[in-house]
Structures are given as C-alpha cells and as structure tokens.
Amino acid sequence: MSFAIAIDGPAGAGKSSAAKKAAESLRFVYVDTGAMYRTIGLYMLENQVRVDEEEALKAALDRIRIELKYEEGVQRMYLNGEDVSDRIRTPEVSEKASVVAAIPAVREKLLNLQRDMAASQDVVMDGRDIGTNILPDAELKIYLTASVEERARRRYQELIQKGEECSIEDIQRDIADRDYRDIHRETAPLRQAEDAVYLDSSDMTLDEVAAEITCLAKERM
Ligand code: DC
C-alpha cells in the first residue's frame, strides 16, 4: 500500500518548497501538479490555440504528450519529448495555466496521470484539488495558505534575487486574480477538504512548514 500526502492551497503559499523538503525527508516522490497545467498552458500559448473554441482545444489536447521524469531526484516536465521545465515558469505561462486549469477537458486529461502516479509509489503531491478530487483517500491532507501580502512579498524577493525587475503591487494583483479564478471556477475549485489540516505559513519558515508536514505524516504511518 502506498502512502499519499495531498497539499493544496493558493499560489505562493510555499506548497512546492515545503512539499519538496518533506518528500526528501520522508523519501517520498514529490509531484508538482501545477507544472502539468503550466505545460498545457505553454503549448496553448506557443501554438496560439484558441482555448475557448472546443474543437481547437480538443485537437490540441490530443497532440499533447506530458511526461514527468526524475533527474537526480528533481522533477522535470517534458512536453512531446522536450524538457520545458524552465520555460513553464514565466508570468505569461502562469496566467495561461490558470485559464486552462478551469477547462474540464484539461483536468480530465491530467486526472488519471496524477492518480496513477500516487497508486504506484509514496507521494507528496501538491496542487489545488488533490485532497478534494484527485486523491480523496490520501492518508494526509494539508491545506497550506498565507496572506496575499506575504505571498506577494515572497514572490517579489524571489524575482529580485533573480535580478528581474518587478513591482510588488503588480505581483499582488496577479496573485489575487489567480486566487479568484482558482477558487471560483466550476470544475474542481480550490477549497480545503473537510479532513485537511489547515496550515497558515504567513509566520512560519519553510523549514518549520516542512517539519510540521513530516511530523504529521509520521504520526499516521
Ligand atoms: O501551482 P502553480 O502556480 O504552478 O499552478 C499553476 C496553475 O494551475 C494555477 O493557476 C492553478 C492550476 N492548478 C490547478 O488548477 N490544479 C492543480 N492541481 C494544480 C494547479
């Protein structure tokens, strides 16, 4: 029997960093499901697919082959055989990912891929609907959040460190827009599962969040 940890929450709450760290200490596989939506978003952007036209969208989805590979323990995303792990991290792709993630056919395409990954191995999977929809029987569910201000501040620091120019107001607005779309969409909206542990990371360090998740998992093993 495999053990699954589902971590959901809004953008920028620190899910992926904490999930990665917890997965490392538990020797579980970390699965970043947001990267899958980003990969589909990238394809739609680069191929100028009109995602609001059903036929065009379906035809495009049929042409997309997504693979996750682990290279030295790090998840890499492949789109039709090409490593796109770095290209899916731009603001344009973030925006498009959030748009395509609201489309039922897109979610349908990724559902089995995500479930299969959790069926065959111990995983820490992060996203928006993992505890509520993808893995409703996960052994541990976490709803990880932080205030919009704190999430924007963290993202701002990250970008500044990379030498990118940005304004904290723009980042805050982008985050609030994405939250709105993720929470208000009809299909698999972002919400806390009833049996999820609520964690607010606003005043916690990354290490503290990862340690809390690891500790909760060990209690249930
Ligand atoms: O976590 P992220 O920012 O990389 O996710 C990109 C987008 O994909 C985001 O707008 C939410 C969406 N997403 C989703 O709808 N369901 C998931 N399980 C993961 C991400």
Query: Could you read off the pLDDT of 124-146 as tens digits, one per residue?
Result: 999 999 999 999 999 999 999 99
The pLDDT value given to residue 73:
84
Closest CA to ligand 1's atom 6: 34
Question: Which pTM was predicted?
Answer: 0.95
Alpha-helical (H) ranges within 86-205 are 91-100, 104-120, 148-161, 168-184
Closest CA to ligand 1's atom 11: 98
The helix-helix angle for 54-63 and 34-46 (nearest 10°) equals 110
Position 164 pLDDT exceeds 90: no
Measured from the CB, is residue 31 less than 6 Å from ligand 1? no
Measured from the CB, is residue 11 less than 6 Å from ligand 1? yes
The pLDDT value given to residue 72:
87
Residue 120, φ and ψ in degrees, nearest 5: -100, -5
Q: Which atom number of ligand 1 is nearest to the Cα of residue 12?
A: 3
Q: Which atom number of ligand 1 is nearest to the Cα of residue 129?
A: 18
Query: Region 85-111: what's the mean pLDDT?
Result: 95
> What is the Cα–Cα distance from 79 to 94, expressed in whole angstroms?
16
The two tokens of residue 67 are: 């693979």
Q: What kind and span of H or E run contains 37? A: helix 34-46
Closest CA to ligand 1's atom 17: 127
Position 101 pLDDT exceeds 90: yes
The pLDDT value given to residue 2:
94
Which of 8, 37, 42, 92 has the most ligand 1 atoms within 8 A of CB, as the residue to mutate?
Answer: 37
Measured from the CB, is residue 30 less than 6 Å from ligand 1? no
Convert the pLDDT of each residue in 24-62 to its tens digit. 999 999 999 999 999 999 999 999 999 999 999 999 999
Measured from the CB, is residue 182 less than 6 Å from ligand 1? yes
Q: What kind and span of H or E run contains 123? A: strand 123-127
The pLDDT value given to residue 185:
94
Convert the pLDDT of each residue in 170-193 to its tens digit. 999 999 998 999 999 999 999 999
Closest CA to ligand 1's atom 2: 34
Domains in the chain with CATH codes = 4-220 (3.40.50.300)
How many Cβ atoms sit within 10 Å of the Cβ of residue 10?
20
